[in-house]
Amino acid sequence: MEETELKRIVDANDWLWTKWWPALQALSPEQAQQEVGGSFPSVLATTAHMVGAEAVWLERLLGNPAASFPSNPGNMQSLFERWQQLAASRQAWLSNADPEAPITYNFTGGTATNRVSEIVLHFTSHTHFHRGQLASQFRLLGLQPPSAHWIGFFRL
């Protein structure tokens, strides 16, 4: 995978987030925290997991192998602000990233090593997986989720 391909994948991930943030921020605190089921009980918990995972993977890419999830998810606005910071940091890092560089990090009591390109594919597909869960959670709340799809970014 070339550096430009890697950047396009991250750009697509970030583009999808920008399509979702207005809907996420429009939720009342009650809607965001209402338990509707899924891997995580609420839209807020699912979003916190998604942002937290992207933050952990960025820390690992930046050389912090012991990165861990933030302990306090906060509210939707604080998650949005955290995501904006991590997206900007990730874009800055990406400008000099070597897709084939090995990254070693702590994982489940040991260490693991993956190439940068593999990590990028993982965190973007992880986020996309949970974005599908957010869509279901929105529907369970009686709301219409954003209609934004991965391929939409790549259409010419």
CB 139 within 8 A of CB 145: yes
Residue 77 lies in a domain: yes
pLDDT at 11: 96
Residue 93 lies in a domain: yes
DSSP 8-class letter at 39:
S
Q: In terms of residue numbers, what domain contains 101?
A: 3-21+41-154
Residue 34 lies in a domain: no
The pTM of the full predicted model, rounded to 2 decimals, is 0.94
Residue 36 lies in a domain: no
CB 49 within 8 A of CB 40: yes
Q: How many domains does the chain have?
A: 1
Residue 59 lies in a domain: yes
pLDDT at 107: 86
Residue 156, pLDDT above cutoff 80: no
Separation in Å, CA 135 to CA 38, 68, 90, 128? 11, 26, 25, 11
pLDDT at 71: 75
pLDDT at 6: 92
- How much of the chain, in percent, has pLDDT values that exceed 70? 99
Q: What is the CATH number of the domain that holds 53?
A: 1.20.120.450
Residue 2, pLDDT above cutoff 80: no
pLDDT tens for 58-117 read 999 999 888 888 777 789 999 999 999 999 999 999 989 999 999 999 988 899 999 999
Q: What is the mean pLDDT of residues 22-33?
A: 98
Confidence of residue 26 (pLDDT cuts 50, 70, 90): very high
Residue 83 lies in a domain: yes
Residue 28 lies in a domain: no
pLDDT at 1: 72
Measured from the Cβ of residue 47, the count of other Cβ atoms closer than 10 Å reads 25
pLDDT tens for 34-44 read 999 889 999 99
Residue 30 lies in a domain: no
